[in-house]
Structure 1
């Protein structure tokens, strides 16, 4: 079966190519918001974590935009297999895919993206906070609009500062910083 390929043009003139086969084709409002955040960030030499990576779209975009290294993990074997194929399609070798839960990921990251369900964002918040380097940036997306206050309050209890809140049609995207402003 031939898979459809989605092309996502990036601000630096490069194009991410993503196979259909898991969440993350670049068409959903939350994915578009995350890519827009990536395009505004200084990624050169930075370590990024993509929580619930799906097709690996955010890691691939980060790599194409200059990130030093990316780790993406997902609990779905099919998503991880698709992400590895997407890495090959884009000639990406610094987007490392881990199939498993957050306990399979160690280390700290300059930037973390989590475009996943609200209940998971709250359930693994200790892991996300502990994995975010001092002065790091965190982008949470996939949060239903009606839950944006609760997710902001939940993460602010760690001392994270809200830098940006975007309300989309059905979901919201929140950008946090840990420590002093990281841009």
Structure 2
């Protein structure tokens, strides 16, 4: 059934994508899509398609990024927009450059927002040997390449965003065979699947978003990574025991919050890989990690983003 949904979008800048995505996920959102000019590997020719209708550079400028969220027709649109507007003001007060910060809404059909963007999502190599391949593309792997086949659906995590890239690079650098891994906010399941294909013995991905959980489970099944388990819920409620590596590609404020207790879920000398951190928050995140008993082991930056590896 081609169901109708309410689409709410925020016209912003790349550095504000993660916190704005966090705003949407604090609501009863049914899916989130991101259009980031820094991630586009192939631009459409000719007239703009539906997926790029908002990327008219004459209207928004060539640095505009868009975060779209999809809500049920029964949701209170006015209340949703008021909440988003308040939260955007808070981001401005925190010094985050949200660009236009313009909120728009309209109604869309499910088949449009679920599928139209796929032709612009291309095979990408990350790190030394990791290949992220859309399921609908053909690719012949070269020697030693590890291929992850992905259909993110409406879940965050195609591999093309700097935050995801840095997490993948750190997983490739630090994962050892037989490691147990927790992926917090697993999204499409991309990091969980990468960890498993790098040799981790057990990987648990958790997410509060049911849309993401469904997408991740499908991707896990498609990649035949039988040692990956995807769970709906909060880490502290649904996961038992400790991991050798915990990875969280979320936002800086959530990383700071996690730092206060995540050590309870990490083995001695284990690693906490975090990303989704804008540069302005780097020092604050590092200080929080140190205050909670972690040592900063590695740091990487791409664009406006930072990823940190902390050791317990």
Matched length: 178
Structure 1 consecutive aligned stretches of length 4 or more whose deviation exceeds 4 Å? 5-9
Q: 2:255 aligns with which of 121, 125, 128?
A: 121
Are residues 1:106 and 2:243 paired? no
Structure 1, 116-125 or 95-104: larger mean CA deviation: 116-125
Structure showing greater radius of gyration is 2
Q: Give the corresponding residue for 1:52.
A: 185
What SS does the aligned partner of 1:26 have?
Answer: coil
Q: Give the corresponding residue for 2:156.
A: 23
- Equivalent residues of 2:259, 2:292 under 8 A apart: no
Q: CA deviation digits over 1:13-59, x for unaligned, max 9?
A: 12001112211100000111111111112420000010100011001
What SS does the aligned partner of 2:261 have?
Answer: helix
Q: CA deviation digits over 1:124-162, x for unaligned, max 9?
A: 333312101101011110011100000000011122111
- Consecutive unaligned residues of structure 1, counting only runs of 5 or more, are 179-183
What SS does the aligned partner of 1:20 have?
Answer: coil
How do residues 1-183 of structure 1 correspond to structure 2 at under 5 angstroms?
4=118, 7-9=123-125, 10-11=129-130, 12-21=144-153, 22-102=155-235, 103-178=237-312
Give the Cα–Cα distance (whole angstroms) in 1 for the partners of residues 273 and 193 of structure 2: 16
Give the Cα–Cα distance (whole angstroms) in 2 for the partners of residues 8 and 71 of structure 1: 24
Q: CA RMSD in A?
A: 1.7
Q: CA deviation digits over 1:49-72, x for unaligned, max 9?
A: 101000110010111111101001
- Equivalent residues of 1:6, 1:17 under 8 A apart: no
Mark the CA change 1:167 to 1:17 in structure 2 (over 3 Å): closer, same or farther. Answer: same
What SS does the aligned partner of 1:111 have?
Answer: strand
- Consecutive unaligned residues of structure 2, counting only runs of 5 or more, are 1-110, 131-143
Give the Cα–Cα distance (whole angstroms) in 2 for the partners of residues 170 and 107 of structure 1: 34
- Equivalent residues of 1:6, 1:19 under 8 A apart: no
Offset at 1:6?
Answer: 5.7
Q: Give the corresponding residue for 1:181.
A: none
- Equivalent residues of 1:8, 1:15 under 8 A apart: no
Give the Cα–Cα distance (whole angstroms) in 2 for the partners of residues 18 and 141 of structure 1: 20
Higher relative contact order (CA 8 A, sep 6+): 1
TM-score (norm 1): 0.91
Mark the CA change 1:16 to 1:7 in structure 2 (over 3 Å): closer, same or farther. Answer: farther
